[in-house]
Amino acid sequence: MKRILSLVFSALLFFGSLFVLPVSEAGADSFSLSSVYEPYFILVNADTPNVSYRGIEQDADKQVYPASTTKILTCIIALERGNLKDMVTVSHNAVNFGRGNSLMGLQEGDQYTLEDLLYGMMLPSGNDAAIAIAEHIAGSTDAYAELMNQKANELGMTHSHFVTVHGKQNDNHYTTVRDMAILTAYALNRSEKSSEFRKIVGTGKYTASSGPRALPLVNSNRMIIDAPTTETLTNPISCLYPDAIGVKTGDTAKAGKCLIAAAERDGVTLIAVLYGGTLGDPDYNDGWTDAQKDKYNVKRFNDAAAMFDYAFADMMHSVTVGELANHGMPLTFEVTINNASPEDSNGGVLTANADLSSEMVVSILQPDPNANPTDIEIEALTTITNNYAPIPEGAVIGSVIYRYKDRTILSANLLASRSVKEGTAQTQIAPAPSNDGVVQGSLIGGANSTSVNPTDEGMPIGESAGGCGLPKEIRWLPIVLVIVFVLLLICVVLFVLYLRAEKKRRKRAAARRRARQRAMQNGQSDTRR
């Protein structure tokens, strides 16, 4: 049975490793700026948002109109200054919009929580929600715009000026794609309210239910959720991106079709800002049907996805297990085997070897394209599943997984380097051992470092958790003996009860026979008379 379980465990580890051990480098060709449809764009790593990744930018510092991507700034300020549970009363000014505006669906006098209004502003891009939020936080939209410009200055958005809270066209309301990348990186990663911001912009569908009517809301970011089917658009093009986490769309006649998108993989956050889609495009026709326009509407989402694909592939580096081992990744671990023979030369301590080939290739994502793939810190976590003698050489006694930035990059069985003979049972009792170990191999700078080997603190010979001092092979014997004794006792009691009942039955039968005999004798006497 042990051998069968070991084989099953080995098979599971092997097949699991197929999913985490790419065997070839995911390289990437240079990215063509001409492939991007939008005239103004930039791709950045959120850790360095003022610098484009690999020079992927075009007119990044030219002043442009941000349209509804403005609401990113409106949202983060509201999160930092407001209370999500506050009830906000909707004014007449907040609902004074004509046709052609993106709205949450509010009515004058409605009361909804600030949280619901933030979803209404960021998902369907509700201009009504933006004004209601601004009036609640600052008293007026003009006062709120002052807060927006203050925050922009704090963040170093030196080429931006904001006049409206929703982004409707105003010639004095402008920014640059680089400034918006800086703002978005702050909202996603550096604000005290980044987690709440991420939750909102990463939501596909939401229902605002705190007010007089339940308002269903759908995100306009098609990298998060597919566009809903309508009478005029029965088969919208899917632009879903598996690593997408937000952020905001925008669309006005002068700004064009805008998108600020973010994607995250293995702890790396990328931000793509794309503005001005379809502006001046001679092929675009306002008289087209929605289905005809859709292929242009999705260009911004497809361009963002292409940028993300290139950057993530460019960040992937291939390295062999041997190279990682040479730079400090531990492949051997000391394990104490319980119930080892007293004659064992190493006192029951053996070396467990990770069952890995030095030629095996591992793919590791690093945001610095010039980084050495071995200049990383890998965490090794061991699980010991069999540390009780006898242990044959080469036996699977556990497993190890290697993690980098909370991602498992490698896993393997742990094999016993030698055999350990079984010792005699002892009765000394000690706490059960801890079978999990963690090793952290520091590979910073590519220099060899001394790794700390996890040693299982074994119990005294013969000890096993819950085994009452008996060897593993016979620790069930006392339980069996107790069960047998109880069964025998029950049988004895039942037998005694049976004998007593039988004795009483025989006495009653004898008494009945004597009574019949006396009755017969009395009858015969009467007959003689």
DSSP SS3 for 355: coil
Which are the contacts of 264, defined by CB distance < 8 A and separation ≥ 6?
A: 243, 245, 270
Quote the CA–CA distance of 42 and 61 in Å, as a whole number: 10
Q: Which residues contact 40 (CB under 8 A, 6 or more apart)?
A: 58, 59, 60, 62, 64, 176, 177, 273, 274, 275, 276
DSSP three-state, residue 262: strand
Both tokens of 29, joined, read 């060709």
Q: Amino acid letter at 51? A: V
Angle, helix 71-81 to helix 114-122, in steps of 10 degrees: 160
Residue 151: count of CB within 10 angstroms of its CB: 19
* Torsion sign (Cα): 259, 219, 165, 114: negative
* Token digits of residue 507: 């006495």
The two tokens of residue 184 are 């978005």
Q: Which of 71, 151, 168, 248 is catalytic?
A: 71
Distance in angstroms (rounded) separating the CA atoms of residues 38 and 249: 14
Residue 263 has phi, psi (to 5 degrees) of -140, 150
CB count within 10 Å of CB 83 equals 12
Q: Tell me how far apart the terminal alpha carbons of the chain are, to the nearest angstrom.
A: 90
CA gap 103, 110 in Å, rounded: 14
90, 111 in Cβ contact below 8 A?
A: yes
Catalytic annotation, pick one of 2, 17, 30, 68? 68
Distance CA 277, CA 10 (A): 53
Q: Which of 52, 102, 125, 464 is catalytic?
A: 125
Distance of alpha carbon 134 from alpha carbon 128, whole angstroms = 10
Active site residue 71: yes
Number of residues written out for the chain: 529
* Residues contacting residue 322 through CB under 8 Å, at least 6 positions apart: 358, 359
Q: Encode 184-219: b = buried (16+ Cβ within 10 Å), e = exposed.
A: bbbbbbebebbebbbebbbbeebebebbeeebebbb
Cβ atoms of 248 and 260 within 8 Å: the answer is yes
Judge whether 238 and 221 are in contact, CB under 8 Å.
no
Instruction: Establish whether 257 is a catalytic residue.
Output: no
Q: Could you confirm whether 68 is annotated as catalytic? A: yes
Q: d(Cα 337, Cα 350) in Å, to the nearest integer?
A: 7
Q: Which amino acids are annotated catalytic?
A: 68, 71, 125
